[in-house]
Amino acid sequence: AQTVTQSQPEMSVQEAETVTLSCTYDTSESNYYLFWYKQPPSRQMILVIRQEAYKQQNATENRFSVNFQKAAKSFSLKISDSQLGDTAMYFCAFMMGNFGNEKLTFGTGTRLTIIP
Amino acid sequence: EPEVTQTPSHQVTQMGQEVILRCVPISNHLYFYWYRQILGQKVEFLVSFYNNEISEKSEIFDDQFSVERPDGSNFTLKIRSTKLEDSAMYFCASGDTTEAFFGQGTRLTVV
């Protein structure tokens, strides 16, 4: 079974600074996807960024980027120029195999607070 | 932008009662899911549904739970006899072959 570990329960950073959230996972599969989801106080789950395991290039979405280290099974999220609206729970998630009919396995989350 | 819609946003029910949580997935999606998040805990997979049948279910998804897609648009989760420990946020998600989109969730409170 796949597992996802987020070792930082809480983090805080000053507005406009850069913060990195850590995630490690365990799998014997070679074909999989990794995700970061944001859950603001409204509790909706919002996809932040996605990485396909077969791609060596790290995914980037505006101020959000990942550092994907496949051999180390590490998938960290970097938020640059952090904004107050980035305050939320962040969940790392793993999906096995061909996308479409596979479940997401989530980590326990990191509560990120952006300080004005 | 298309979105997954869940109703109700909050439901309070008495222990032992049946509840039905409703979801309208994105119209051209083929894969549907229910997840659960107990307050303060991680999001847990309940069940996936494809081609009008369950593809996979977790150990949480016991005989008290059922899903169906009765009319080709709605996707429902039924809990037959609710327990206090069923209190949680329930998320519906639908997906194509590239990503999954979550609804805003239904907060279920069992009293």
pLDDT for res A98: 64
Residue-wise pLDDT for B52-109, tens only, equals 899 999 999 999 999 999 887 899 999 999 999 999 999 999 987 777 889 999 999 9
Alpha-carbon gap: B89 to the closest alpha carbon of chain A (Å) = 9
CA-based nearest residue to B75, from B100, B54, B45, B57? B54
Alpha-carbon gap: A17 to the closest alpha carbon of chain B (Å) = 27
Which of A37, A45, A99, A106 would you mutate first to test chain B, the one with the most B CBs within 10 A? Answer: A45
Residue B71's identity, in one-letter code, is D
The answer for A30, left when phi > 0, alpha when psi is -120 to 50, beta otherwise, is: alpha
Asked if residue A104 lies in contact with residue A2, where contact means CB atoms within 8 angstroms, the answer is: no
Which residues, given as ranges, of chain A have pLDDT below 50?
none
Stretch B10-21: mean pLDDT, rounded?
A: 97
Which of A7, A101, A106 would you mutate first to test chain B, the one with the most B CBs within 10 A? Answer: A101
Rounded to whole angstroms, how far apart are CA atoms B64 and A37?
29
Can you read off the two tokens belonging to residue B29? 């999606």
Residue-wise pLDDT for B21-31, tens only, equals 999 999 889 89
Between A102 and B36, the higher pLDDT residue: B36
Asked if residue A63 lies in contact with residue A80, where contact means CB atoms within 8 angstroms, the answer is: yes
pLDDT for res B73: 84
pLDDT for res B35: 97
Rounded to whole angstroms, how far apart are CA atoms A43 and A31?
30
pLDDT for res B100: 83
N- to C-terminal Cα separation, chain A: 41
pLDDT for res A99: 57
Max CA separation in chain B (angstroms): 39
For residue A111, the tally of other CB atoms under 10 A from its CB is: 14
Is the pLDDT confidence value at B1 over 80? no
